[in-house]
Structure 1
Amino acid sequence: MSQDVLATETNRRQLQQIIAGLSDGVILLDPDRSILWANEAALTMHGVEQVSDLGANAEAYTKRFALRYRNNHVVPVDSYPISRVGRGETFSDVLVELTSAADAERSWVHRVRSLVLADNHGEPESLVLIMDDVTDWASAEQRFEKTFAANPAPALICRLSDLRYIKVNPGFLEMTGYTRDQVIGTSAYELDVLEQAENRDLVKQCLRERVTIPQMQAELRLPDGGSKQVIVAGQPLELNDEACMLFSFVDMALRHKAEVALRQSEERFAKAFRLSPVPILICGAADHLVLDVNEAFLDTLGFPSGEVLGISIAQIDFIDDKNARIRLFAALEKTGSLDRIDVRVRRKDGGLIDCAVSAGTVTIQDRRCFLLVLMDITERRRTELELVSAIEEVMKDATWFSRTLIEKLANVKSVNSAQLPGGSFTDLTARERDVLGLICEGLADKEVAARLKLAPNTVRNHVAAVYSKLDIHSRSEAIVWARERGLFSSEWRPKGQR
């Protein structure tokens, strides 16, 4: 064996001993592209247990492992790192995603570089592939890429070493009208996102020191020659081991538009609130402190504003019935709105006003509030009472009215009686009305059965039907229900029972 061959083998054994324990993966090839040896780290990065599993040579390797670039494009076979080093090329930082042909579910991301070792005559003696497993880093970067692209806030990333933009998200492109090619690789001097910044000296200092740039207004030039007012902020970060600055933006035009719309809405509400002829009150939902009232409220109830604003509704005590006030706010808290609830309101001078109260929940300056509208129905109630009184007078001597007319008059009286429970008299059948009339005379079921010549069970069924239809539960409730509606007075009894 020649001295040169012995020297080569000795060198290789020494090289293998040196690199066997390295965390970087190392694959050694002969100049003829045969795979001679690989350390344990390289085998692990390929998901195999022995060197022969990599393939006998570079060609066999390309059939056992599929490679893609990070942009998901397939790496051509002649561009595989093992093919390139087989041609004697030296390169660094080639980033590829490797998948085993035997198990497509497993993949790794390698950062690969090459080394060509020459003999004493300058001829290639050993070809070396050195790889670093950057799978975890690539996964984190992929997550960042997805988050950055999905972020609706306009943003771009500038590399601080040369002040060139390396990433831009759709939000920035949509806001400005730039294309990706017009931004990526462009210098911050060409596309100055901090142009006309309100504190440009501070911006320059923050860039030099690579610290956070606080929010400030700036003017952003657009590709059509126009400009856009924005709020911009900068956050330092590292990307691919390079110092960068993440710029994020808020479109002032959108904010201004929203502020104008909100102000106009508030102005319309305030004008409607002030000019409404109907008394309106706004109070806090939690404490019932009066936040605002309109002029109609002050005029109708006779209170000066100083005795109302900032005072709780319980302290003002303008709702005549304390229990009615408690029930009203309990219902409002539960349902969020009320529609025309009859409430009697007391003026400052002690006079009483009948009101129909409607209420709803509103948010004012991030505070949950109740808005109460008081409709004065005193005149309407007086008219209704007069109508009821007239009906009662008519029904005192109803002998000459037909049954149908009496029932209609009773219904009118029922409709105009405030908040009476139960159904309508006309919901009852003729026989059920007769039974109700005899109940109002104080007759028991057996007596009703005898009077109407019915079986006791039939009477009990009729009584149950009456209770169900009128939403009552006892004979006493039935009597009260009928009397409140002016039914079955002494001058009128069911046919045949006068």
Structure 2
Amino acid sequence: MSQDVLAKETNRRQLQQIISGLSDGVILAEVDQTILWANEAALTMHGVGDVMGLGANGQQYTERFSLRYRNNHPLQDDSYPLARAAAGDEFSDVIVEVTPTATPDKTWVHRLRSLVITDSRGEPELLVLILSNATQWASAEQRFEKTFNANPAPAVICRLSDLRYIKVNQGFLEMTGYSRDQVIGRSVYELDVLEQAERKDLAIQRLSEGATIPQMEAELKLPKGGSKLVIVAGQPLDMNEEDCMLFSFMDLEPRRKAEIALRQSEERFAKSFRLTPVPTLVCNADNRHVVDVNEAFMSITGYISEELIGKSIEEIGFIDGNAASEQLFATLEKAGNLDGQDLKVRKKGNEVIDCVVSADTVVIQDMPCYLLVMMNITERKRSELELVAAIEEVMQDASWFSQTLIEKLANAKSVNSPNLPNVSFTDLTARERDVLGLICEGLADKEIASRLKLAPNTVRNHVATVYSKLRVHSRSAAIVWARERGLFAGDLRVKNRR
């Protein structure tokens, strides 16, 4: 054996001793791709017990192990790492998935780089493949990839070295309308996710430092024009041993549209509230404190807004009688609304007026309130009372009182009294209806008793019951009540005294 050959063998043995205990895998091969040796780490990464398990050369290696890139594209024979090294191609950080053809259910991920050792003349003498096991890293990255893509929260990832986007999830694409190609590879200057951010200077500073960017509102430009209000935040992370920034977003556009719609609705309500000629008051449903009143309410009661707003209904005392106030709000608490309830309102200065109040529950600025709408019916009630009094007076002597005049008076009362008492003709018994009909014919109690063949006391009892049910107090009022409802129209008579 020549001295040169001996020296080469000695050097190789020393090299093997040096690298045998390394955690990285090492494979040594001749320039013709004959596999000479592999350390324990390299054998373990391939699931074999000795160097023969790798194959005698590069060709046998390709037969025993199938290699794919991470995008699932298989490597051709001349693209295998050993073949590339033999062709003089020096590479680093090549990541491949390695699967034994005999056991395809096993797969490892290797990160490789090549090294060509030359002799004293500079000629290639030995090929070296250095492997590291990236299986766990790839598994974690795969889990992250799945989580990132499946996360409904919009997100993009940019590389800090050149500030270009390297990943985007479906949530971001759907929120903005961008395509994947319109995002990947573009820089943060082209697609500025910090556009009009409320603290943009701080965000840019944190981005340059690779530090966390706190949540802040921003306007994100859209590919078809316009913008979208979002909350953006940045979180630094490491991807493939590169420093990156994960930008995540929350779409505030639905909230902004809802706020605009609410503001417009409240503005319309406020204008309507102010301009309506009907006295209207809004109070807090919880403590009954007045929230707002319109001009019509102040005009009818004589109060000014400073004397009402912020004070409770009870403290102001404009509802005449505590019992009436409690009944009104008890109804509102139970039903949420009421319609057409009579109410006496005490004006500033203690004058009492008759009103009809309707109310409903509304929500103003997230606060439940009662909206009270009032109508002053004092004049109408006075007219009704005067009309009934006039009818009763003339009925004292009805000998000249024609049926036509009675009908005109009844019609006049009907016009002035659109809100009739909530009593139905069917609430009367058959006998009571007979009695009411004969009253409308102008018969006295004795005449009714004779007509119906009843005792006078029995007739008087029926008449009293009819008055009670109809909520009237006289014959004339009972006749008007029946006429308002079109009852006994053909039988209405006035007895002439001769």
Partner of 2:420: 383
User: Percent of counterpart pairs with the same letter?
Assistant: 53
Partner of 1:434: none
Match runs of 1:234-313 below 5 Å: 235=234, 237-238=236-237, 239-244=239-244, 260-276=260-276, 282-284=282-284, 289-295=289-295, 304-312=304-312
RMSD of the alignment, in Å?
5.3
Partner of 2:116: 116
CA distance in 1, matches of 2:7, 2:325: 109
Between 1:194-203 and 1:39-48, the stretch displaced more is 194-203
3-state SS in 1 of match to 2:265: helix
Of 420, 429, 432 in structure 2, the residue corresponding to residue 396 of structure 1 is 432
Per-residue CA deviations over 1:3-56 (Å, capped at 9, x if unaligned) read 555544444443333333333233333444344444343344445555555445
Contact map agreement 2:20 2:40 (CA 8 A) in 1 = yes
CA distance in 2, matches of 1:23, 1:345: 93
Of 356, 360, 372 in structure 2, the residue corresponding to residue 358 of structure 1 is 360
Of 345, 348, 362 in structure 1, the residue corresponding to residue 346 of structure 2 is 348
Between 1:54-63 and 1:20-29, the stretch displaced more is 54-63
- Describe the shift of the 1:55–1:276 C-alpha distance in structure 2 as closer, same or farther (beyond 3 A): farther
3-state SS in 2 of match to 1:270: helix
* Matching of residue 59 in structure 1 with residue 59 in structure 2: yes
CA distance in 2, matches of 1:282, 1:141: 59
Partner of 1:91: 91
- Describe the shift of the 1:30–1:256 C-alpha distance in structure 2 as closer, same or farther (beyond 3 A): same
- Describe the shift of the 1:20–1:375 C-alpha distance in structure 2 as closer, same or farther (beyond 3 A): farther
3-state SS in 2 of match to 1:71: coil
- Describe the shift of the 1:327–1:260 C-alpha distance in structure 2 as closer, same or farther (beyond 3 A): closer
Contact map agreement 1:356 1:377 (CA 8 A) in 2 = no
Contact map agreement 1:343 1:357 (CA 8 A) in 2 = no
Give the total of aligned pairs.
393
* Offset of residue 92 of structure 1: 0.4
CA distance in 1, matches of 2:50, 2:188: 51
* Offset of residue 114 of structure 1: 1.4
Per-residue CA deviations over 1:332-351 (Å, capped at 9, x if unaligned) read 6xxxxx35478665523566
CA distance in 2, matches of 1:14, 1:314: 102
3-state SS in 2 of match to 1:89: coil
CA distance in 2, matches of 1:283, 1:97: 72
Between 1:198-207 and 1:21-30, the stretch displaced more is 198-207
- Describe the shift of the 1:354–1:179 C-alpha distance in structure 2 as closer, same or farther (beyond 3 A): closer
3-state SS in 1 of match to 2:90: coil
Give the partner amino acid of 2:58: A
Per-residue CA deviations over 1:468-498 (Å, capped at 9, x if unaligned) read xxxxxxxxxxxxxxxx989xxxxxxxxxxxx
CA distance in 1, matches of 2:129, 2:295: 87
* Offset of residue 383 of structure 1: 1.3
TM-score w.r.t. the length of structure 2 is 0.57
Partner of 1:81: 81
Contact map agreement 1:158 1:244 (CA 8 A) in 2 = yes
- Describe the shift of the 1:296–1:241 C-alpha distance in structure 2 as closer, same or farther (beyond 3 A): farther
Partner of 1:437: none
Per-residue CA deviations over 1:225-248 (Å, capped at 9, x if unaligned) read x88698897847354333455667
Partner of 1:131: 131
CA distance in 2, matches of 1:47, 1:352: 98
CA distance in 2, matches of 1:73, 1:81: 15
Between 1:246-255 and 1:296-305, the stretch displaced more is 246-255
Match runs of 1:226-241 below 5 Å: 235=234, 237-238=236-237, 239-241=239-241
Partner of 2:368: 369
Contact map agreement 1:88 1:127 (CA 8 A) in 2 = no
- Describe the shift of the 1:206–1:390 C-alpha distance in structure 2 as closer, same or farther (beyond 3 A): closer
- Describe the shift of the 1:38–1:186 C-alpha distance in structure 2 as closer, same or farther (beyond 3 A): same
Give the partner amino acid of 2:432: K
3-state SS in 2 of match to 1:384: coil
* Offset of residue 86 of structure 1: 4.7
* Offset of residue 283 of structure 1: 4.8
* Offset of residue 320 of structure 1: 3.8
Tell which structure's C-alpha radius of gyration is larger: 2
Contact map agreement 2:232 2:248 (CA 8 A) in 1 = yes
Give the partner amino acid of 1:369: P
Gaps of 5+ in 1: 333-337, 402-483, 487-498
Contact map agreement 1:198 1:218 (CA 8 A) in 2 = no
Contact map agreement 2:22 2:41 (CA 8 A) in 1 = yes
Partner of 1:70: 70
- Describe the shift of the 1:121–1:331 C-alpha distance in structure 2 as closer, same or farther (beyond 3 A): farther
* Offset of residue 71 of structure 1: 3.0
Give the partner amino acid of 2:421: E
